[in-house]
Amino acid sequence: MLRTMTITLLVLATIMLALPTTIGLLGRRPAESTLPDGADSIPVQVYFPDTKKVEAIPLGDYLKGVVAGEMPPEFEMEAIKAQFIVARTYTVRRMRQFGGQGGCPLNPAADVCADFSTNQAFMNRDTLVARHGKLVAESFWRRLERAQAETSGLVLTHKGVLIDPLYHGVSGKATENAEEYFANPAPYLVSVDDHWGADAPRLVQQTHFSPDAFALALGGEIPPTLAVTTATGAGRSPVQVTARTATGRVKTVKVGELTLTGREFRERLGLPSTDFRVFLQDGKVVVETVGNGHGVGMSQYGANGMARAGKQSTEILTHYYQGVTISRLFES
């Protein structure tokens, strides 16, 4: 009996001594994370718009669905791993277990939405099979499982705080400073070279409008129909670019008396990016864009280009997010 008690006390003492090493970057580990596979087993509250339900699913499983929806199956492994770390950081920053306020505008009870227009894209295994076929989908899912396991618990921080790791499809030239598109600057979301994504498919796209449709799409209380039809009738573009950002994207435009930011112009017309020019062709207003997305943070096709050039996920991330550290959510 005495020997048994002695052994028990020794075991308890060992556990108590080891406890401080389990407290990682974000302080006390939530009770849910005591599951055997660590940080990626913590449940995240996800709202699914198709079923209109909030479901609690393990973080790692959610992330596999995110990366399946965000990246093509043929992307390089190091780009996929980079996306896992970005998606994990984005998600954990919004989880209430870690002090987040939730990030799903469609349902306040959720941490995130499985919706690309409000949060991150999401594709489950069945949908992946339906889209790509069984062979491609199963091969891709195995790669997703490997990437998730190899990046488990890794997040991006700046001066010890989780970053907001914005990302986009591709810029093809240079990424944008955060303050040029969003309200506030961020020291890690600054413009960097993105020539790595220059061979992305559909990098340059054209959107055609009739003059009336163009004016109505710009909207406002009084759509600039007269200004548009007058300009197009005279063979001129109805759009005057009044300012560009340092990266060449449109900062402000005028259409008659209507003044819009580049972001407002893009969103009202449903354009791929704010890097655009406007011209007339066969009586149509043509908007030609370069890139896909807001241009801030990691370029996904740029990440894949870097991976093809032999860059590791860590190099990709520290290129697109300046001054960041790749940290573990919990120390092992």
Cβ–Cβ < 8 Å for 91, 62: yes
- More confident position, 16 or 182: 182
- More confident position, 14 or 85: 85
Cβ–Cβ < 8 Å for 301, 170: yes
Average pLDDT over residues 268-281: 97
Average pLDDT over residues 318-332: 91
Strand-by-strand arrangement of the 284-290 sheet: 204-209, 284-290, 276-281
pLDDT score recorded for residue 4: 39
Q: pTM (2 decimals)?
A: 0.87
Residue 208 has pLDDT above 50, yes or no: yes
CB-count burial class (<10 Å; 0-12, 13-18, 19+) for 6: exposed
DSSP string, 169-219: SB-SSBPBPHHHHSSS--TTS---B-GGGTT-TT-EEEEEE-HHHHHHHH-
pLDDT score recorded for residue 18: 35
> How far apart are the C-alpha atoms of 18 and 11, rounded to whole Å?
11
Across 196-205, 214-223, 281-290, 316-325, least confident range: 214-223
- % of residues, the chain, pLDDT over 90: 82
> How far apart are the C-alpha atoms of 103 and 92, rounded to whole Å?
10
Dihedral over Cα of 98, 102, 108, 109: its sign: negative
- % of residues, the chain, pLDDT over 70: 88
Residue 21 has pLDDT above 90, yes or no: no
Token duo for residue 169: 């499809």
Across 115-119, 298-302, 328-332, least confident range: 328-332
Across 20-24, 159-163, 165-169, 177-181, least confident range: 20-24
- Mind listing the pLDDT tens digit for each residue in 62-100? 999 999 999 999 999 999 999 999 999 999 999 998 888
First vs last Cα of the chain: how many Å apart? 34
**Every domain of the chain and the residues it spans:** 31-166+324-328, 204-290
pLDDT score recorded for residue 332: 53
- Report for 31-35, 84-88, 220-224: range of highest mean pLDDT: 84-88
Query: Predicted confidence band at 200 (pLDDT cuts at 50, 70, 90)?
Result: very high
Token duo for residue 171: 């810029």
- Mind listing the pLDDT tens digit for each residue in 296-310? 999 999 999 999 999
Helices (H), 51-202: 59-70, 77-94, 125-132, 134-150, 178-181
Average pLDDT over residues 142-159: 97
Considering the chain, what is the average pLDDT of its residues?
89
pLDDT score recorded for residue 103: 82
Residue in 149, 76, 68 with CA at minimum distance from that of residue 114: 68
